[in-house]
Chains A and B, each alone.
Chain A
Amino acid sequence: NAGVTQTPKFQVLKTGQSMTLQCAQDMNHEYMSWYRQDPGMGLRLIHYSVGAGITDQGEVPNGYNVSRSTTEDFPLRLLSAAPSQTSVYFCASSTGTDTQYFGPGTRLTVL
């Protein structure tokens, strides 16, 4: 049971490039979320999903897209990277009981 996994661990992009951050969980959780954490700050919700085929926006959704075709996977796409998107990105999953399980994070730098 690997829990929540994220790839890549590190990524450097140039402004304007696109990429997809991968997130997968093997706990059969319905709920999945993406957060970003800027230096010295708490986590802010980007997008979330309450089940396969259902997604919704969080607090800071601009510049990001998500899809949820399976229960296990919840990729986050950056459409056109900007320096303001330099951050650490965390994926989380849960059963809906407020206890969320977080992945190890992806550290993204946009030059």
Chain B
Amino acid sequence: LAKTTQPISMDSYEGQEVNITCSHNNIATNDYITWYQQFPSQGPRFIIQGYKTKVTNEVASLFIPADRKSSTLSLPRVSLSDTAVYYCPVSQGANNLFFGTGTRLTVIP
């Protein structure tokens, strides 16, 4: 079954760029790579999705190498409100996702 590996936690100061890398060695050929953000006591929320190379939206960028075995979520100039857990789930088929434990990002004033 496809699994993911992410750092358990990361700390960053406000205003810095944060890069979180996820390893997903067994990702299926047809699957997109999607990142979610979860605040305490809330459900996960979609951040960004891509298939290959680079994708950018209003909140983040996603870098995907040619072999697609990993991906890097980049958050520009983080603020205290970006403190959350970030997940890069992979599909287990039928559009159901294996989440793993995620990366807990703490932004420090």
Is B34 a contact of A99 with CB atoms below 8 Å? yes
Question: Chain A CB within 10 Å — which of B34, B41, B44 has the most?
Answer: B44
A44 contacts partner chain B, Cβ-Cβ < 8 Å: yes
Given A56-B94, A98-B34, A98-B49, residue A92 in contact with residue B43 (CB < 8 A): yes
Give the number of residues in B that approach A within 8 Å (Cβ atoms).
22
Is B102 a contact of A105 with CB atoms below 8 Å? no
Is B91 a contact of A105 with CB atoms below 8 Å? no
Chain A contact residues, majority secondary structure = strand
Chain B contact residues, majority secondary structure = loop
Q: How far is the CB of B3 from chain A (nearest CB, A)?
A: 11
A90 contacts partner chain B, Cβ-Cβ < 8 Å: yes
A75 contacts partner chain B, Cβ-Cβ < 8 Å: no
Is B32 a contact of A97 with CB atoms below 8 Å? yes
Q: How far is the CB of B7 from chain A (nearest CB, A)?
A: 14
A102 contacts partner chain B, Cβ-Cβ < 8 Å: yes
List chain A residues, Cβ under 8 A from B87.
42-43
List chain B residues, Cβ under 8 A from A102.
43-45
List chain A residues, Cβ under 8 A from B43.
4, 90, 92, 102-105
Q: How far is the CB of A78 from chain B (nearest CB, A)?
A: 19
Is B96 a contact of A45 with CB atoms below 8 Å? yes
Is A48 a contact of B101 with CB atoms below 8 Å? no
List chain B residues, Cβ under 8 A from A101.
46
List chain B residues, Cβ under 8 A from A61.
none
Is B44 a contact of A43 with CB atoms below 8 Å? yes
Other contacts beyond A31-B94, A45-B96, A98-B34: 9, CB < 8 A: A4-B43, A31-B96, A43-B87, A43-B99, A50-B94, A98-B49, A98-B91, A99-B49, A105-B43
Sample of 17 A–B contacts (CB below 8 Å): A40-B101, A41-B101, A42-B99, A42-B100, A43-B87, A44-B99, A45-B92, A45-B98, A48-B96, A50-B95, A59-B98, A92-B43, A97-B32, A99-B34, A100-B46, A102-B45, A104-B43
Interface, chain A (partner B; CB < 8 A): 4, 31, 33, 35, 40-45, 48, 50, 56, 58-59, 90, 92, 94, 96-105, 107
